[in-house]
Chains A and B, each alone.
Chain A
Amino acid sequence: MNFTLFVTTIVTGLAFVGVVIVLANLIAPRSFNAQKDEAFECGIPTRGQTWMQFRVGYYLFAILFLMFDVETMFLFPWAVVMRSLGPVGLVSALFFIFILILGLAYAWRKGALRWQ
């Protein structure tokens, strides 16, 4: 039943957007103008490409995110069974988190967290 409802929700979301956009396209007025379909830039014509190399800082944070997100993923099963694992599980998780904090400290020291 859960999976049926999961699919139902996805279909509902897609239909909710699709139907209203079709409806809006039907009832909205339409006009044609050479300037209207230009990219917005405060009234002046846009210069150059938008799809170009972007500042590297964003990608550094994305890579760091990947590391810590996977870490969270690994910690979820541990958190569920932690009570029954007892002190042994706690020490192993401590070791795991310690290595990750080491990674964060390395990135911090290397200046990956500094915006320059």
Chain B
Amino acid sequence: MFDLQNWTTALHEWMLGILPEWAAILIESVLVALIIITLYAVFAIVLIYLERKICAFFQCRLGPNRVGKWGLLQVFSDVFKMLQKEIIRMRKSDRFLHDLAPYLVVTASMLTFACLPWNKGGHIIDFNIGIFFMLAVSSIGVVGILLAGLGSNSKYPMIGAMRAGAQLISYEISIGLTMLTMVALTGTMQISEIVQQQYDNGWNIIRGHIPALIAFIVYLIAGNAECNRGPFDLPEGESELTAGYHTEYSGMHFGYYYLAEYLNLFIAAGIASTIFLGGWAPLHIAGLDGFNGVMDLIPGFVWFVGKTFFVVLLLMWERWTFPRLRIDHILSLEWKYLMPISLFNLLLMALVVVLGLGININ
């Protein structure tokens, strides 16, 4: 299996050989920062294009098809357009909070993004409380959204932010409980360790069979709600609230919300592929050594990105299939169905683990 850790260690050793330690760490940090920004921008652009095309095909349209071949350059032209637009600040708004909100939203999604395991040894932040850390930093985004509504001092953003806040914190419980279920199965919170276990013992969704499958379905529903998407997009429901919490943002200020929204979709899918579908762990079938050998030849990041895009497609399918829900329906779906289900599912998983009923392929 291709291990990125070897390369990064070699680079670090080489830099220590020619530079003092602080300079080596500084250069490495700058490199990491550049990598994060590049990946962040590239995946946002890919996802925005993908979403527009897929949404169009669901609705029997063509989607963007004028700028570049098959509309491939549409997203770039949108970005440059946004960059040229004036950033309008309103007279009555709370300037500080209004300007602070995009920083919080983007930083929160970037911190979560940095936790994803791209390859064996290819993670940026890897705490031993990884999953917990991920959950914690991803909820900073809620603060950003609430500040956006509050700081704008305008009616529509306020209503949108309140709805978004109620919805995001509610569905965060389901997300937390499904992650907890998978932590109960793996017995560790370190993300690299979780994936390594799945490489050794088979993907969690097979290992944890029934409770893992239930957790995966709950995660798909709650993940869409966490990203303010799909049937749960009423925080920004266009026809009622103009644009929800980012109505008063223009130009690049708005662009950051757009960017973070799509990156959050990627992150939600990435977490699902990490804790359920094995992250960078290739598909192994017990007993078929030749097949496993061939699968091992495919590098880990291809597996990770492939699985993530599979989950992204599931989430988009969900988004464009169901009609928008009402706020009380959204909240009762979470509190009366998803949360009790995931609590009982956690107990079921605990039973499976304690009684040793999990499927172990090796």
Chain A residues with a Cβ under 8 A of chain B: 2, 4-6, 8-18, 20-21, 23-25, 27-31, 36-42, 46, 50-51, 54-55, 57-58, 61-62, 64-65, 68-69, 72, 75-76, 79-83, 86-87, 89-90, 93-94, 97, 100-101, 104, 108, 113-115
Contact = CB atoms under 8 A, between A and B. Distances in A.
Interface stretch (B29-37, B58-66, B278-286): B29-37
B189 interface: yes
Nearest to A57: B166
Given A17-B256, A82-B353, 18 more contacts: A5-B125, A14-B103, A16-B37, A21-B252, A24-B251, A24-B252, A38-B92, A55-B162, A64-B335, A72-B176, A72-B177, A76-B131, A80-B187, A90-B351, A93-B347, A97-B346, A97-B347, A113-B332
B155 interface: yes
B165 to A, nearest CB: 7
A82 B63 CA distance: 50
B154 A25 contact: no
A40 B90 CA distance: 10
Contacts of A14: 103, 107
B339 interface: yes
Contacts of B110: 9, 12-13, 16
Nearest to B30: A8
Interface in B61-94: 82-93
17 contacts: A5-B32, A5-B114, A9-B124, A12-B37, A13-B107, A14-B103, A15-B33, A16-B37, A38-B90, A39-B155, A40-B156, A40-B247, A55-B162, A68-B339, A80-B188, A93-B347, A104-B335
B29 A8 contact: yes
Contacts of A4: 25, 29
Contact of A40 (B127, B189, B242, B253): B242
A20 B252 contact: yes
A17 B154 contact: no
B85 A72 contact: no
Contacts of B354: 82-83, 86-87, 89-90
B127 A104 contact: no
A28 B162 contact: no
Contacts of A97: 343, 346-347
Interface of B: 25, 29, 32-33, 36-37, 40, 82-93, 102-103, 106-108, 110-111, 114, 124-127, 131-132, 150, 152-156, 158, 162, 165-166, 169-170, 172-173, 176-177, 180, 183-184, 187-189, 242, 247-248, 251-253, 256, 327-328, 331-332, 335-336, 339-340, 343, 346-347, 350-351, 353-354
Contact of A39 (B169, B180, B248, B353): B248
- Nearest 9 pairs of A and B residues by beta carbon: A115-B328, A13-B107, A39-B154, A13-B110, A79-B184, A24-B252, A12-B33, A72-B176, A8-B29
A40 B125 contact: no
Nearest to A6: B125
